[in-house]
Structure 1
């Protein structure tokens, strides 16, 4: 990218009610790729680190990430609803878990819809699609954020 962009790997995260999709980009921030789908840990106590956050943290360390980009579900009209409130809380807690790696929020409007459509176009359907749609949505979130950074710089 250009002078305002800090080189390094970023993780993209799509937070769902059941699963968390994770993607990663190259150090130059050109291309996002799928990494993992992690089951959400809804049973963790306030004191314990949820298993999904521990796994995202582990992936951040494994990939030597300089930031984590979490998709924020914004409505088409630009307003934030209950889902955005839950994701903001998730991102805030994740930020405490993976310190000092910063967690940033990115507008994820239509990411799952686009990911589902792209998978269908490639012939991925049914159970197989459900298994990878969260990763594909994470790719859409991260790639959109990378492209926006490139346009800004």
Structure 2
């Protein structure tokens, strides 16, 4: 069963340099890569995200939560949580965090199968990783939910 309710969901594969974005609809279970957000400042990145939010009118966000293979957290985990809290604060939409440990490997294998390599692969890798994160959310749910306070899901 797919999780996520009705409406559009935007998912993010957060990175300090690039943020992959995917869009999907849980009702029909479809996800697709959307964009790679870059910028010289957080403000520039959030301006690009605001344009996507305006265009797609999401009802919620999903953010990949990176951890070590054993599940312990590290610096990028902290930064991803901070990014999710900023999304919620700026757009007032619920944020779900999803374990993303295998999303980049999955994205690479999908792109290899599609025979997308080199620079071409690098330009869409983060988007496809965000798509994998979103598909994981629709199929298995979130590890955590944030709407101004953290709760276990």
- Aligned residue for 1:47? none
Corresponding position: 1:122 with 2:114 = yes
Q: Is the 8 A contact 2:12 2:63 kept in 1?
A: yes
5+ unaligned residues in a row in structure 2: which ranges?
142-153
Q: Within 5 Å, which residues of 2 pair with 1:51-90?
A: 51-90=44-83
Deviation at 1:5, TM superposition (A): 5.0
- Aligned residue for 2:134? 142
Which residue among 79, 84, 93 is the counterpart of 1:91?
84
> Superposition RMSD on alpha carbons, in Å?
1.8
5+ unaligned residues in a row in structure 1: which ranges?
45-49
Q: List structure 1 segments (4+ residues) > 3 angstroms apart after TM superposition.
A: none
After superposition, the C-alpha distances for 1:64-88 in whole angstroms (9 at most, x for unaligned) are: 2100101000221111111101111
Q: TM-score, normalised by structure 1?
A: 0.84
SS of equivalent residue, structure 1 residue 139? helix
Q: TM-score, normalised by structure 2?
A: 0.84
Tell me how many residue pairs correspond in the alignment: 141
CA distance in 2, matches of 1:128, 1:35: 15
